[in-house]
Amino acid sequence: VLASAVCMDKLTLKRLFAKAGLPQVEFLAAGEPGWRDRCEAMGLPLWVKPSRLGSSVGITKVEAVADLDGAVELARRHDPRVIVEAHAEGREVECSLLGNEAAEASQPGEVVAKGDWYDYETKYREGGMDLIVPAPLEADRLERVRELAVRAFELSGCAGLARCDFFVLADGAVLVNEVNTMPGFTETSVYAKLWEASGLAYPSLCARLVELAAERH
């Protein structure tokens, strides 16, 4: 319960990661003292999001400071807690996780959205994105993604399954974005596809999840 709540609240999760020293984009809570000045210092574009929502609902890519208030207002229709994040120009990479006390990480995959960004329509429309597994990165970068995914999973107190999302920048820096404690299983979902590419077929994945649940119970 705690892990699910922490990971659902982007502000809380990112503060936890910051305390533990995990690399991530700059962020702030809309409305905190000096937040507008900090937004300008972070540069444009910025991403304004409801802190406790998923599937890219209520998110705005802000490309002009004048649009900041409208973006915050839109996010607050979904959640009074609003996070503003700096932009990361890089590959979007995801990694599936499986385990209780000790997590296993799948091969990381790159999500290539067929649109300006990975919004709701792109996520759930058939053919809205391509998944490249393994992600086209150097071996040490792939291992860095897997290492940080396990750290994020264990730091957040997760169990069973989760998917950890990253940005990998042109200079090779790997930034943790978020942890999804109940990743989708639709036809376009990434979680099972990453495990399949890692040698764990869907029926075996389902069996392993049942085994982990029984073990934890």
Report which DSSP code applies to 114: S
Q: Strand, helix or coil at 156?
A: helix
Report which DSSP code applies to 67: G
User: How far is the C-alpha of 84 from the C-alpha of 113, rounded, in Å?
Assistant: 22
Helix (H) or strand (E) holding 135: none
Contact 146, 131 (CB under 8 A): no
By C-alpha distance, which of 200, 197, 165, 202 is closest to 181?
165
In sequence order, which residues have a C-beta less than 8 Å from that of residue 40 and are 6 or more positions away?
Answer: 65
Walk along the chain (217 residues) and give the pLDDT tens digit of each residue. 999 999 999 999 999 999 999 999 999 999 999 999 999 999 999 999 999 987 778 999 999 999 999 999 999 999 999 999 999 999 999 999 999 988 999 999 999 987 665 666 655 566 678 999 999 999 999 999 999 999 999 999 999 999 999 999 999 999 999 999 999 877 668 999 999 999 999 999 999 999 999 999 9
The pTM of this model reads 0.90
